């Protein structure tokens, strides 16, 4: 800590931010008129160096970061690379963002700011900063769109191609992923419960199940396409095979999670096997089962898309991705990836929400962290 109330790292970031703004002001001296808002940002950023003498609120850093990012995006030229001194604006606003986040988390830790709400701001800022940097670098450095299109182009393509994307989503997610996921998870659960009664079977199935979960099961995709044809059935079959083993292994482990004393209690109640299973052991296996459901949610989407590389009707996310690459329609491919990412995250999020509701008693949920 020094006179400014900043740690060494924050101090270095503050110097970097202010210094970059000062340099931007100096190098852009000859072209003030072209982007007035950037000049204002540079001037304000350079003025932030006054923090060496005056107190400087962390919210001012946040405001500068936001102003710099917006000014820079507005100043980006439509065609060609951007003027060299614009790069200083990117460096400066990145440094302001980092500094803001550093000071924000320090303030949360010290108890000056509440955890809820502000704790969420930090990852959002990080995500937005990545998007802004992506946009500025691809457009500012004139990166060929075939290589990496800017987010704005991907967004434009997404809004323009809604019917295509929707048809692909239905084919891949609704028709292939969901049935395959449901069948695979239910089958894994059923086999686990069946095996659970016999210690002999359990001893035999567990090592094999563990081994199979580590294998590249996705490789059976071409075989499934041969067996079940090009349509969604073969994709669902791949998803079933991929989701079965994680579910089996986790459920068998989870059914052992209830402690001996709890089982003894059920015994004193004269509960039969079925009652012990339904009222004690299955609920106790909840966290394990949900763990498998979460792992499977991403596996299922991957399985369905990869299986489409081996043959599809002319619709589906995997089909669109592989043909998009061939036609060099990279922005469409990225739009498809964005849809897949949103669908994957939403799928995961829904399961995590259900988990919070069902296993509300578990310490990891009661502690407020999942």
Partner 1 sequence: MANRVIPVLTILLAILAFWYAAAIWMNAPWQDRLNARADLIDVPFAEFAAQTWAQDKPVLPAPHQVVSEIWNATVALEITSRRSLAYHGWITLSATLLGFAFGTALGVALAVAIIHNDASDRSLMPWIIASQTIPILAIAPMVVVGLGSVGLTGLVPKALISMYLSFFPVVVGMVKGLRSPEAIQLDLLRTYDANGWQVFWKLRWPAAMPFLFASMKVGIAISLIGAVVAELSNASGGGLGVRLLTGSYNGQTVQIWAALFIAAGLAAILVAIVGSAEKWVNMRMGARA
CA–CA distances in Å: residue 238 to residues 111, 206, 218, 250: 50, 21, 7, 20
Calpha distance 104→180 (Å, rounded) = 44
Does 74 bind partner 1 (CB under 8 A)? Our answer is no
Does 229 bind partner 1 (CB under 8 A)? Our answer is no
- Kindly state the tokens that stand for 56: 């400087």
Cβ atoms of residues 246 and 298 within 8 Å: no
Does 233 bind partner 1 (CB under 8 A)? Our answer is no
Cβ atoms of residues 61 and 103 within 8 Å: yes
Tell the smallest beta-carbon distance from residue 110 to partner 1 (Å): 10
Q: How many alpha carbons lie under 13 Å from residue 191 in its C-beta half-sphere?
A: 20
Cβ atoms of residues 323 and 332 within 8 Å: no
Q: Judged by CB, which is closer to partner 1: 44, or 106? A: 106
Q: Judged by CB, which is closer to partner 1: 70, or 106? A: 106
Tell the smallest beta-carbon distance from residue 102 to partner 1 (Å): 4
Does 325 bind partner 1 (CB under 8 A)? Our answer is yes
Q: Judged by CB, which is closer to partner 1: 42, or 290? A: 290
CA–CA distances in Å: residue 150 to residues 134, 137, 142, 221, 338: 7, 8, 10, 33, 13
Does 333 bind partner 1 (CB under 8 A)? Our answer is yes
Calpha distance 5→27 (Å, rounded) = 31
Residue selected from 83, 145, 222, 283 as contacting partner 1 according to rule CB under 8 A: 222
Calpha distance 135→133 (Å, rounded) = 5
Does 83 bind partner 1 (CB under 8 A)? Our answer is no
SS3 string of 67-115? HHHHHHHHHCCCCCCCCCCHHHHHHHHHHHHHHHHHHHHHHHHHCCCCC
Tell the smallest beta-carbon distance from residue 42 to partner 1 (Å): 25
Phi/psi of residue 309, nearest 5 degrees: -65, -20
Residue selected from 250, 340, 359, 365 as contacting partner 1 according to rule CB under 8 A: 340
For residue 67, what are the contacts with CB-CB under 8 A and spacing of at least 6?
Answer: 41, 44
Q: Is 120 left (phi over 0), alpha (psi -120 to 50) or beta?
A: alpha
# binding residues, partner 1 (CB under 8 A) = 63
Binding letters toward partner 1, positions 144-163, x by CB under 8 A:
--xxx---------------
Calpha distance 6→12 (Å, rounded) = 9
Q: Judged by CB, which is closer to partner 1: 22, or 307? A: 307
Tell the smallest beta-carbon distance from residue 237 to partner 1 (Å): 14
Select the span of 30-38, 41-49, 104-112, 264-272 touching partner 1 (CB under 8 A).
Answer: 104-112
Phi/psi of residue 232, nearest 5 degrees: -65, -20
Does 166 bind partner 1 (CB under 8 A)? Our answer is no
Residue selected from 25, 165, 247, 305 as contacting partner 1 according to rule CB under 8 A: 305
Q: Judged by CB, which is closer to partner 1: 162, or 350? A: 350
Tell the smallest beta-carbon distance from residue 277 to partner 1 (Å): 22
Q: Which of residues 178-217 bind partner 1 (CB under 8 A)?
A: 200-205, 207-208, 211, 214-216
Which residues sit at the interface with partner 1, rule CB under 8 A? 9, 98, 101-102, 104-106, 108-109, 119, 122-123, 125-127, 146-148, 200-205, 207-208, 211, 214-216, 218-223, 225-227, 297-298, 301-302, 305-306, 309-311, 317-318, 321-322, 324-325, 330, 333, 337, 340-341, 344-345, 347-348
């Amino acid at each position: 800590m020094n006179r400014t109330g900043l740690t060494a790292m924050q101090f270095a970031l503050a110097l970097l931010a202010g210094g970059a703004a000062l340099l931007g002001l100096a190098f852009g001296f000859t072209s003030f008129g072209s982007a007035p808002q950037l000049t204002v940002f540079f001037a304000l950023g350079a003025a932030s160096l006054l923090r060496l003498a005056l107190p400087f609120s962390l919210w001012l850093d946040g405001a500068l970061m936001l102003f710099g990012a917006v000014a820079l995006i507005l100043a980006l030229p439509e065609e060609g690379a951007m003027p060299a001194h614009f790069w200083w604006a990117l460096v400066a606003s990145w440094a302001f963002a980092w500094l803001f986040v550093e000071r924000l988390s320090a303030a949360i830790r010290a108890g000056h700011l509440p955890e809820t709400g502000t704790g969420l701001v930090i990852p959002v800022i990080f995500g937005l900063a990545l998007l802004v940097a992506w946009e500025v670098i691809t457009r500012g450095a004139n990166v060929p769109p075939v290589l990496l299109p800017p987010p704005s182009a991907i967004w434009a393509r997404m809004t323009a191609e809604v019917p295509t994307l929707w048809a692909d989503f239905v084919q891949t997610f609704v028709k292939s992923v969901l049935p395959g996921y449901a069948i695979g998870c239910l089958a894994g659960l059923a086999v686990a419960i069946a095996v659970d009664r016999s210690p002999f079977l359990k001893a035999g199935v567990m090592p094999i199940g563990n081994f199979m979960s580590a294998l590249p099961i996705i490789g059976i995709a071409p075989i499934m396409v041969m067996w079940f044809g090009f349509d969604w059935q073969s994709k669902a079959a791949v998803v079933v095979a991929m989701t079965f083993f994680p579910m089996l292994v986790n459920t068998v482990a989870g059914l052992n999670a209830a402690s001996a004393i709890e089982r003894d209690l059920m015994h004193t109640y004269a509960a039969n096997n079925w009652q012990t299973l339904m009222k004690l052991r299955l609920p106790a296996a909840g966290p394990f089962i949900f763990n498998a459901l979460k792992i499977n949610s991403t596996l299922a989407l991957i399985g369905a898309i990869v299986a489409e590389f081996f043959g599809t009707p002319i619709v589906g996310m995997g089909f669109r991705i592989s043909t998009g690459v061939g036609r060099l329609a990279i922005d469409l491919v990225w739009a498809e990836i964005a849809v897949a990412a949103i669908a994957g995250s939403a799928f995961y999020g829904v399961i995590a929400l259900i988990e919070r509701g069902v296993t509300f008693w578990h310490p990891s949920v009661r502690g407020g962290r999942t």
